A and B are shown apart, each in its own frame.
Chain A
Amino acid sequence: MLATRCLSRPPRLGLQVGRTVGAGGSVERMPIIEIERLCKSYQVYQKKEGLWASVRGLFRREYRQVEAVRGIDLTVEQGEFVAFLGPNGAGKTTTLKLLSGVIHPTSGTARVMGHVPWKRENAYRRRFALVMGQKNQLWWDLPAQESFRLHQQIYRIPTSSFHQTLDELCQLLDVKNLLNQPVRELSLGERMKMELIAALLHAPEVLFLDEPTIGLDVVAQHNIQHFLRTYQQTKQITILLTSHYMKDVLALCKRLVIIAQGQICYDGSLTGIIDRFSTDKVVTLLFGGDRLPSQWEPLGRVLEVVGPKVKLRVERQRVAQVLASLLADYSIEDVSVEDPPLEEVIADAFNQVSRTSVPGAPLDRIVPGTRV
Chain B
Amino acid sequence: MPGESVHPSYIRVLLTFMRNSLVRDMSFRSNFVIESVASTSWVFMNLGFYLLIFRYTNEIGAGSGWGKYEFFVFLSTTMFINSIIEALFMPNAQEFSELIRTGNLDFALLKPIDTQFLVSCRRCDWSSLANWLVGGSLLVYSLRQLTARAENPLQIHPLAFVLYPFFIVCGVAILYSLMISLSASSVWLGRNQTLYNFWFYITNFSRYPMEIYGGTYGTPLRAVFTFVIPVLIVVNVPARWMAWPFDVARSGPLSLFAVAATLASLMFSRWVFLRALESYRSASS
B63 at the interface (CB under 8 A from A): no
Q: Does A241 contact B (CB under 8 A)?
A: no
Q: Are B280 and A134 in contact (CB under 8 A)?
A: no
Among the 9-residue stretches B15-23, B130-138, B145-153, B195-203, the one with 4 or more Cβ atoms under 8 Å from chain A is B15-23
Q: Is the CB of A120 within 8 A of B7?
A: no
A123 to B3, CA, bound (A): 6
Contact between B109 and A155, CB atoms less than 8 A apart: no
Using known A-B contacts A93-B285, A149-B16, A150-B13, determine if residue A141 contacts B109 with beta carbons closer than 8 Å: no
Chain B 1-16 interface residues, beta-carbon cutoff 8 Å to A: 1-4, 6-9, 12-13, 16
Contact A132 B109 (CB under 8 A): no
A275 sits at the interface (CB 8 A):
no
When chains A and B are docked, how far (Å) is the Cα of A156 from the Cα of B2?
12
B284 at the interface (CB under 8 A from A): yes
- Determine whether the beta carbon of B110 is less than 8 Å from that of A139: no
Q: In the complex, how many angstroms separate the beta carbon of A115 from the nearest chain B beta carbon?
A: 11
Q: Nearest Cβ in chain A — how far from B274, in angstroms?
A: 10
Say yes or no: A93 contacts B284, CB within 8 Å. Answer: yes
Task: Judge if A225 is at the interface, Cβ distance under 8 Å.
Answer: no
| Neighbour of A142 across the interface among B7, B20, B111, CB < 8 A | B20
Residue tally, chain A, CB below 8 Å to B: 34
In the A-B complex, list the 6 residue pairs whose CB atoms are closest, starting with the nearest: A125-B112, A137-B107, A122-B112, A126-B3, A126-B112, A102-B106
* B110 and A155 within 8 A (CB): no
- B1 — which chain A residues lie within 8 A by C-beta? 14, 123
- Which B79-107 residues sit within 8 Å CB-CB of chain A? 103-104, 106-107
Q: Is the CB of A142 within 8 A of B113?
A: no
Q: Is the CB of A156 within 8 A of B281?
A: no
Residue B27 lies at the interface, judged by CB distance under 8 Å to chain A: yes
Considering only residues 21-41 of chain B, those with a C-beta below 8 Å from chain A are 23-24, 27-28
Q: Report the separation of the CA atoms of residues A212 and B28 in the bound assembly, to the nearest whole angstrom.
A: 31
Given A139-B20, A146-B20, A154-B113 in contact, is the A102-B282 Cβ separation under 8 Å?
A: yes
**Cβ 8 A contact of B109, one of A12, A101, A129:** A101
For A122, the chain B residues whose CB sits under 8 A away are 7, 112-113
Q: List 7 A-B contacts (CB under 8 A).
A: A123-B1, A126-B112, A137-B107, A142-B20, A146-B20, A150-B13, A156-B8
On B, residues with C-beta under 8 Å from A are 1-4, 6-9, 12-13, 16-17, 20, 23-24, 27-28, 103-104, 106-107, 109-113, 115, 118, 278, 280-282, 284-285
Decide: B13 and A153 in contact? CB cutoff 8 A: yes
Partner of B285, one of A120, A134, A142, A156: A134
| Residues of B with C-beta under 8 A to A137 | 104, 107
Chain A residues contacting B111 (CB-CB under 8 Å) are 125, 154
Contact B8 A153 (CB under 8 A): yes
Q: A103-B281, A126-B6, A150-B13 are in contact. List 15 more A-B contacts (CB 8 A).
A: A93-B284, A94-B284, A101-B109, A123-B4, A123-B112, A126-B112, A129-B110, A130-B106, A135-B104, A135-B106, A141-B27, A150-B17, A153-B16, A154-B13, A155-B8
Asked if residues B23 and A146 are in contact (CB atoms below 8 Å), the reply is: yes
Q: Which of A120, A134, A153 has the most CB atoms of chain B within a 10 A radius of its CB?
A: A153
B103: chain A residues within 8 A (beta carbon): 135
Q: How far is the CB of A178 from chain B (nearest CB, A)?
A: 17
Contact, CB under 8 Å: B24 / A142:
yes
Main secondary structure of the interface of B (DSSP, over half): loop
Complex Cα spacing A100 to B103, Å? 14
Q: Is the CB of B3 within 8 A of A127?
A: yes
Binding site for B on A (CB under 8 A): 12, 14, 42, 93-94, 97, 100-104, 120, 122-123, 125-127, 129-130, 132, 134-135, 137, 139, 141-142, 146, 149-150, 153-156, 182
Instruction: A123 to B16: give the CA distance in the assembly, Å.
Output: 23
Chain A residues contacting B12 (CB-CB under 8 Å) are 153
Chain B residues, CB < 8 A from A101 = 109-110
A153→B9 contact, CB < 8 A = yes
Q: In this complex, which of A122, A134, A139 has the most chain B Cβ atoms within 10 angstroms of its Cβ?
A: A122
* Neighbouring A residues of B118 by C-beta, 8 Å: 154
CB distance from A367 to the nearest CB of B (A): 28
Query: If A102-B109, A135-B285 touch, does A150 touch B8 (CB 8 Å cutoff)?
Result: no
Residue in chain B with minimal CB distance to A157:
B6
- The answer for the CA separation of A14 and B281 in the assembled complex, in Å, is 30
B residues in contact with A125, CB < 8 Å: 110-112
Distance in angstroms from A268 CB to nearest chain B CB is 28
| Whole-angstrom CA separation of A182 from B27 in the bound complex | 10
**For residue A210, which residue of chain B has the nearest CB?**
B285
Q: Which of A132, A142, A154, A155 has the most CB of B within 10 A?
A: A154
- Residues of chain A contacted by B112 (CB below 8 angstroms): 122-123, 125-126, 154-155
Given known A-B contacts A102-B110, A122-B7, A42 and B13 have beta carbons under 8 A apart = no
A150 touches B20 (CB 8 A): yes
Closest to A118 in B: B278
Kindly provide the distance from the CB of A213 to the nearest chain B CB, expressed in whole angstroms: 15
A38 to chain B, nearest CB (A): 16
**B7 partner residues in chain A, CB cutoff 8 A:** 122, 156
A125 to B24, CA, bound (A): 28
Complex CA gap A47/B284 in Å reads: 17
Establish whether residues B281 and A100, one from each chain, have CB atoms under 8 Å apart when the complex forms.
no
Q: Which residue of A lies closest to B105 (CB)?
A: A102
A154:B8 contact, CB within 8 angstroms = yes
Check B282–A150 contact: CB distance below 8 A: no
Determine how close the nearest CB of chain A comes to the CB of B1; give it in whole angstroms.
7
B9-A97 in contact (CB<8A): no
Question: Shortest Cβ distance from B230 into chain A, in angstroms?
Answer: 31
How many angstroms from the CA of A94 to the CA of B282 in the assembled complex?
A: 9
Could you tell me if A97 and B106 are in contact, using CB atoms closer than 8 angstroms? yes
A156 pairs with B106, CB closer than 8 A = no
Residues of B within 8 A of A155 (CB): 8, 112
